[in-house]
Amino acid sequence: MLIEVDNLSKIYKTKLSLIKSQGESVRAVDNISFNIDSGDVVGLVGESGCGKSTLSRLIMRLEKPTNGYIKYNDKDIWALKREEIKGFRKSCQVIFQDTMTSLNPNIKVLDSLMEPLNNHYKILRKEKIKKIEDIICFANLKEEILNKYPLDISGGERQRINICRALILEPKFLICDEIISSLDVCTQASILNMIKKLNSFNDMGVLFISHDISAVKYLCSKIMVMYKGSIVETIDNEDAGYKIKHPYTSQLISSVPINNPNKRINEKIVI
Ligand SMILES: Nc1ncnc2c1ncn2[C@@H]1O[C@H](COP(=O)(O)OP(=O)(O)O)[C@@H](O)[C@H]1O
Ligand SMILES: [Mg+2]
């Protein structure tokens, strides 16, 4: 199994609890279990504050769980040796929503893409440049962009560069945490299609996180619905006759406006 999440919980103690012996705590992730296999595109949907980003950080080994564990290729990610951690960092990538802070504004796009290659590959610079050119082409970007600074390109282009930065290391597992939320409708559609194309090319496992159930429905075979730190329902998106079980899921679906642009994306755009 590529990713195995077992009884995972993360409890944050709030400031109050430092003062009082029995203070407040937030169960940001509350006893979650699921698996993601190579080639799977799994959706995670839920309202703001339900614990989606905390879950991403736990899976990426950026924070330690309070309980439970995460296994990558059958190994507990907190039991990895130093060299194995480096391999894990290369193989498991995450892209966050904020396109501006994910890229260093002081360095050109070329150097932002060079950075992960310098960290993980011992190959000639010309081979690195070839990798960068290939990924830029895959992302439907023009090579001129390589000489620009993040502030001189659009939000959509920045997000594509972020995706390129993650993909250039040829990860086995990718988390996309609300990566389309701040983008306009057309850019959202093209980014969704880029992820779809990518998944059809290699056997990467993807966890696609969004608060927008229609985007997730377009992309994913399985959709996990998260509510207040727990997974309350897992929808089989390939089952046309699937009946929604949990009231929160019905609420989430009914809150999608009829003229939601992503509904149009789902119908019209083909790769
Ligand atoms: N470092 C932290 N310290 C304390 N509470 C946190 C921390 N990070 C997140 N939280 C809380 O955990 C809950 C889940 O947050 P988050 O994972 O960011 O949700 P989402 O990504 O679904 O919007 C929220 O109540 C948030 O305030
Ligand atoms: Mg979040």
Full DSSP string of the chain: --EEEEEEEEEEEPTHHHHSTT--EEEEEEEEEEEE-TT-EEEEE--TTSSHHHHHHHHTTSS--SEEEEEETTEETTS--HHHHHHHHHHEEEE-S-HHHHS-TTS-HHHHHHHHHHHH----HHHHHHHHHHHHHHTT--GGGGGS-GGGS-HHHHHHHHHHHHHTT--SEEEEESTTTTS-HHHHHHHHHHHHHHHHHS--EEEEEES-HHHHHHH-SEEEEEETTEEEEEEETT-TTPPP--HHHHHHHHTS-TT-HHHHHHHH---
Residue with the smallest CA separation from ligand 1 atom 4 is 12
181 or 95, which is more confident? 95
Contacts of 57 (CB under 8 A, 6+ apart): 63
Residue with the smallest CA separation from ligand 1 atom 26 is 49
Ligand 1 atom nearest to 14, measured from its CA: 4
The region of weakest confidence among 8-17, 36-45, 174-183 is 8-17
List, for residues 14-52, the tens digit of each pLDDT value: 766 555 556 688 999 999 999 999 999 999 999 999 999
Residue 103 Cα to chain centre, angstroms: 16
Residue with the smallest CA separation from ligand 1 atom 13 is 28
List, for residues 122-170, the tens digit of each pLDDT value: 999 999 999 999 999 988 899 999 999 999 999 889 989 999 999 999 9
Q: How far is the CA of 240 from the centre of ligand 1 (A)?
A: 34
Q: Virtual CA dihedral for 190, 72, 100, 134, nearest 10 degrees? A: -50
CA distance 60 to 70: 9
pLDDT of residue 269: 30
Residue 82 token pair: 């130093």
Mean pLDDT on 102-119: 94
Contacts of 96 (CB under 8 A, 6+ apart): 53, 56, 102, 177, 178, 179
Residue with the smallest CA separation from ligand 1 atom 20 is 49
Pocket of ligand 1 contains residue 50 by CB under 6 Å: yes
Instruction: Tell me what percent of the residues of the chain surpass a pLDDT of 90.
Output: 63
Q: How far is the CA of 18 from the centre of ligand 1 (A)?
A: 18
Pocket of ligand 1 contains residue 49 by CB under 6 Å: yes
133 or 202, which is more confident? 133
Q: How far is the CA of 175 from the centre of ligand 1 (A)?
A: 17
Q: Does pLDDT of 264 surpass 70? A: no
Domains, the chain, in order of start with CATH, read: 3-268 (3.40.50.300)
Pocket of ligand 1 contains residue 210 by CB under 6 Å: no
Q: How would residue 96 be classed by pLDDT, with cut points 50, 70 and 90?
A: confident
Nearest ligand by distance to the CA of 17 = 1
Q: How far is the CA of 250 from the centre of ligand 1 (A)?
A: 24
Pocket of ligand 1 contains residue 96 by CB under 6 Å: no
207 or 267, which is more confident? 207
Q: How far is the CA of 121 from the centre of ligand 1 (A)?
A: 34
Q: How would residue 112 be classed by pLDDT, with cut points 50, 70 and 90?
A: very high
Pocket of ligand 1 contains residue 26 by CB under 6 Å: yes
Pocket of ligand 1 contains residue 28 by CB under 6 Å: yes
The Cα-based distances of 38 to 4, 23, 42, 73, 206 in angstroms read: 12, 42, 11, 10, 8
Q: How far is the CA of 142 from the centre of ligand 2 (A)?
A: 31
Q: How far is the CA of 270 from the centre of ligand 2 (A)?
A: 28
